[in-house]
Amino acid sequence: MYLSILIFPLLGSFVSGLLGRKIGVTGAHIITCTCLIISSILATIAFYEVGLCGSPVLVHLSTWMDSEILSIQWEFLFDQLTVSMFIPVLYISSLIHIFSTNYMAEDPHNQRFFSYLSLFTFFMLVLVSGANYFVMFVGWEGIGVVSYLLINFWFTRIQANKAAILAFTMNRVGDMGLSIGFFALIALFGSLNYSTLFSLAPFMNSTAIDIIGLLLLSGAMAKSAQIPLHSWLPGSMEGPTPVSALIHAATLVTAGLYLLVRSSPILEYSSTALLVITLVGASTAFFAATCGLVQNDLKRIIAFSTISQLGYMVMAVGLSQYNVALMHVVNHAFFKALLFLGAGAVIHSFSDQQDVRRLGGLINFLPFTYTAMLVGTLSLLATPWLTGFYSKDLIIELAFAQYSFEGTYAFILGSLTAGLTAFYSFRLISLVFLTKPNGPKTSYLHSHEASLAVIIPLFVLALFSIFFGYIFSDLFVGIGTDFFGNSIFIHPNHITMVEAEFSMDRLVKLLPSILSLLGAVLAVYLYHFAPHLFFMESPITRKIYTFLNGKYLFDVIYNHYFIGRGLQLGYFVSKVLDRGVIEFIGPYGLSNTLTKTGINIAKLDTGVITTYSLYITLGLLSLVFLVFSPILFETSILNELRLFIIYIATLLLLVLPFNNSNTLYIFIDNRLNFYSNLT
């Protein structure tokens, strides 16, 4: 049963992709959706058996690599952490498949699209269920490749090509760090099995554990879009909206978080890595929220919101609260998928318009979509008793309860980010649904609620966004819960849950909610009732706006200093070193020298007998000279050197081409004839 969870999406992908012409568009829809729904049902059973009944399962398939002490197996581990990740991945993937049957109905390449979606889900399941880092890495690379294919699905659009290449290459940077981390693990532990590594981690050199922790973080930073490897995620909005919902809500971006949570027994013994993780997460959350304030593309606003929430999750990992981080991963997956699919419904019904400045007044045309997006937005804001509240507010409280530099830093930036998140979320709601209509009349006339295939996923995700956190919060993050068992390790010195719950000032607890409320009210007031206040006259306001709209100019810095210099270096290496020096000394130079030498030696064959007699005489003299040179000269080092120079000079004389070699031969021949006449 457990392997069936992985195999069904793979079968759906193969049938849809390879037999697409046989089964048709409808066949591809039915087969892939059915496979995903069956897989989701099995995952629910697995969650009951493994999670609630507490019986993890290890499935051993075969040996992959067996070399000296290093043994790597094809093994899959279904423990509490794995089945907790199965729930959002499979539920959301199934709903997105159903949503896509309507959203992509007009596209000519439906079979390819559904094949990619199912394959992406399969690789994500491999990633979260692998029992060692190598099997996990197979899934890790798999989702990287399929995300490239999905972002570049409309491959005739140059923007989609660029976005896909950016996503792929930026993830390569993180993967390089992760690969080096795996080599370090092999060098230090001699194994990549979770059970071996995690049981030995406390006894290892702390510096080595620090380095490994930071290398694992570099991989997670690229996948989960943390500063400075974040700039691929907003660009990847060029793909179809279901892709944005699947990749940037539930699956790909949570892979980095899963890696960090899974590696908790290693990270817990590296205070340096935890400090860096906290600072990176808090900084990313604040950075993305400030950028989201001034974006105008509907999907990009939600993309920056994703980066911001990922920052919260990474921050929670850095504070050693892995269960809270995982709870936020799951909660965020549901409400962010809801927001993306709601945005997709808006775009689809409004002539594919994505600019929020050209929308407005859609509350009367798309009331259900408005309700769904409002639920997602309120959950994102951590509105009390909705899903997001049970993890997001808890992360901010836990940051304060650390009573340390990094905890206070995370608390301040986390609280500010909560206010900014509320502002840009309600800015989006105001501009799209509440303000006066700004779009063309024809778009409004044709605007209508979508079919059942869109409404059902939105309705189910809205239910999850309201109730999931309330139902599961005690199971995941309740005080004293033993749900995760041995799948997560938190060092006893790092447990601060009791302080966060019971010993904090009430104002500190309420601060994020107060800031969220202020941000939301301010956004609705400014964009709905007093938009004239935003007429920017002062130069400083314009500069700040440009800076934030340019995403802190990260792309400019990368293009100018890294990409440009890198291309220059590549050109130099290719033209000067590779095609110049190496070829001149290496293959090209060697073959050229041998050819020219052969030609020069061939020129000595003149057909004149006196020339041949000269060669014979010279050869005999050289032989005599070589034989009797030790008698004629003292065999000191100086003389040996002189002999060496003579031999080299002779060789060069033969090798180097003569401009007019026949002249020399005729001159020698004339001299010989002259001397013979004299005698």
pTM for this entry = 0.83
Residue 633 has pLDDT above 80, yes or no: no
Q: Which of 95-109, 223-237, 242-256, 581-595 is the least confident region?
A: 581-595
Q: Hey, which bits of 451-536 come out as E strands?
A: none
Q: What percent of the chain stands above pLDDT 70? A: 92
Q: What is the mean pLDDT of the chain?
A: 86
570-571-572 Cα angle (round to 5) = 90
- The reply to whether 117 falls in a domain is yes
- The reply to whether 611 falls in a domain is no
Residue 663 backbone class (left: φ over 0; alpha: ψ -120 to 50; beta: rest): alpha
Rounded average pLDDT over 366-376? 91
- The reply to whether 197 falls in a domain is yes
Q: What percent of the chain stands above pLDDT 90? A: 35
- 8 A C-beta contact, residue 87 and residue 492: no
Structure token digits, residue 119: 């394959």
- The reply to whether 416 falls in a domain is yes
Q: Which of 128-132, 373-377, 409-413, 526-530 is the least confident region?
A: 526-530
| Count: domains in the chain | 1
Q: Which of 100-104, 324-328, 353-357, 672-676 is the least confident region?
A: 672-676
- The reply to whether 678 falls in a domain is no
Q: Which of 44-48, 323-327, 446-450, 475-479 is the least confident region?
A: 446-450
Q: What distance in Å separates the CA atoms of residue 396 and residue 229, rounded to the nearest whole number?
A: 24
Whether cis (ω within 30° of 0) applies to the bond prior to 228 is yes
Residue 482: the pLDDT is 87
Domain that holds residue 201: 1-536
Q: Tell me which residue has tokens 């709903």.
A: 95
Q: Which residues pair with 71 in a beta bridge?
A: 66
Q: CB atoms < 10 A from the CB of 357, how many?
A: 12
- 8 A C-beta contact, residue 140 and residue 223: yes
Q: Which residue has the higher pLDDT, 575 or 537?
A: 575
- The reply to whether 405 falls in a domain is yes
- Pairing of the two strands 57-67 and 70-78: antiparallel
What tens digit of pLDDT does each residue of 507-525 get? 888 898 899 999 999 988 8
- 8 A C-beta contact, residue 391 and residue 463: no
What tens digit of pLDDT does each residue of 17-36 get? 888 888 888 888 999 999 99
- The reply to whether 532 falls in a domain is yes
- The reply to whether 597 falls in a domain is no
What tens digit of pLDDT does each residue of 560-572 get? 888 888 888 888 8
